[in-house]
Homo-oligomer: A and B are copies of this chain.
């Protein structure tokens, strides 16, 4: 297949170029450029680059903080009842969600606005947290559900008393922050956020963008192209493939339940599409269970276009390639309570 070209030097260069083209396939060159123009970005292949991306200069990630944050994340004693943990609604074994329409918390109370629990995986990549995007930082997010009455229902002081009553926790805080550490609610939630910051899930989509042209199948590549051509990437972009605030018109949502109508500026947080296959049901109100239906509805509601069955099929196949590798998490052994630990309160 190689053309005859004059000098030996030119021949070598051409061979390298053609080898490149062979590895890419000509169509992949176009696709990679199209992805770049769409604003979609890969999770970096280098662990160090990922770490730079997710780190918090105000509270840098260390192993000791991650281990402690993991314990706090899994500890149901951070809730008033003692039986609801962060992991209850953001289950690390289920795509980082609870798999129910509206989150259910303390005293079996559903979320008053019928809001669906967003995934904790890759949530550090969001530029906005919460459906109304009221805070950009995971640290602030972690404070919300612990205190919210229909979620974990624990006042700050209760959380502080529970944690500081257990010597094993106090020792771990000293190990993570030094002997003079002041353990308060903010430090507890900041430490949970440190753990959450490392919950990044690189997928085959990222491998493709990072240079492995065989990481996606032909149909997945076609779906990716359609995803961009149809306009999906205009909201689902950057590394999070979502996570930013976008215009939202609740009246267009026939399926709207719960009364959430976005911010006063008419905005809503676009959810990440990473691990979307694992995070049904969909939308802010968790009212749609089928990913295909969700794709079609988004075309209809947000883009004002019809996406055909065939196109939906291919886009969905592409979306499934966003299911990423989860960090291995060893289930933590939690500190033992003492006589000073405030008792569970079911009321």
Task: Write out the residue numbers on chain B whose beta carbons fall within 8 Å of the beta carbon of A336.
Answer: 95, 277-278
Interface segment out of the listed A101-109, A143-151, A174-182, A247-255: A101-109
| Interface check A242, CB cutoff 8 A | no
Q: Which residues of B contact A328 (CB under 8 A)?
A: 330
Count of this chain's copies in the oligomeric assembly: 2
- Give the residues in chain B near A344, CB-CB below 8 Å: 99-101
Whether a CB of chain B sits under 8 angstroms from the CB of A13 is no
Which residues of chain A from 75 to 107 have any CB-CB distance to chain B below 8 Å in the complex? 75-77, 81-83, 88, 91-95, 98-101, 104, 107
- CB–CB B94/A334 < 8 A: yes
Q: Is residue A26 contacting chain B, with contact meaning CB distance below 8 A?
A: no
- A2 proximal to B (CB < 8 A): no
In the complex, A193 has a CB within 8 A of chain B: no
Asked if A198 CB lies within 8 Å of chain B CBs, one says: no
Tell me, in angstroms, the Cα distance from A94 to B334 when the chains sit together.
Answer: 6
- Rounded to whole Å, the gap between the CB of A61 and the closest CB of chain B is 20
Cβ of A155 within 8 Å of any chain B Cβ, yes or no, is no
Contact with B along A170-191 (1 / 0, CB 8 A): 0000000000000000000000
Q: Report whether B333 and A330 are in contact in the complex, using a CB–CB cutoff of 8 Å.
A: no
The reply to whether B332 and A93 contact each other, CB–CB distance below 8 Å, is yes
In the complex, A290→B340 CA distance in Å?
11
A289 at the interface (CB under 8 A from B): yes
Other-chain contact of A331, B92, B280, B337 (Cβ < 8 Å) = B92
- Enumerate chain B residues within 8 angstroms of A277, measured Cβ to Cβ: 336
Q: Are B290 and A339 in contact (CB under 8 A)?
A: yes
The answer to whether B107 touches A83 (Cβ under 8 A) is no
Question: Is A283 engaged at the interface, CB distance under 8 Å to the other chain?
Answer: no
Chain B residue at minimum C-beta to C-beta distance from A74: B93
Known: A91-B76, A329-B331, A331-B93. A83 touches B110 (CB 8 A): no
Interface size on A, residues (CB 8 A): 41
The residue in A71, A95, A333 that gathers the most chain B C-beta atoms within 10 A of its C-beta is A333
With a cutoff of 8 Å between Cβ atoms, the chain B residues found around residue A71 in the complex are: 93
Q: Is the CB of A280 within 8 A of B346?
A: no
Q: Check A110 against B346 for contact (C-beta < 8 Å).
A: yes
- Chain B CB within 8 A of A306 CB: no
Q: Is A343 close to B, CB under 8 A?
A: yes
Asked if A104 and B81 sit within 8 Å, CB to CB, the answer is yes
**Chain B: minimal CB distance from A276 (Å):** 11
Asked whether B83 lies within 8 Å of A88 as measured between CB atoms, the reply is yes
Residues of B within 8 A of A110 (CB): 346
Q: Looking at the complex, which one of B82, B83, B329 makes contact with A330 (CB distance below 8 Å)? A: B329
Interface string of A49-82 (1 = CB under 8 A from B): 0000000000000000000000100111100011
- A185 CB to closest chain B CB, in angstroms? 21
Chain A positions within 8 Å of B, measured between CB atoms, are 71, 74-77, 81-83, 88, 91-95, 98-101, 104, 107-108, 110, 277-278, 280, 289-290, 326, 328-334, 336-337, 339, 343-344, 346
**Can you pick out 8 interface pairs between chain A and chain B where the beta carbons lie within 8 Å of each other?**
A76-B94, A94-B334, A107-B108, A108-B346, A278-B336, A289-B339, A289-B343, A328-B330
Considering the complex of A and B, which 4 residue pairs feature the smallest CB-CB distances, nearest first? A108-B108, A329-B331, A93-B334, A100-B344
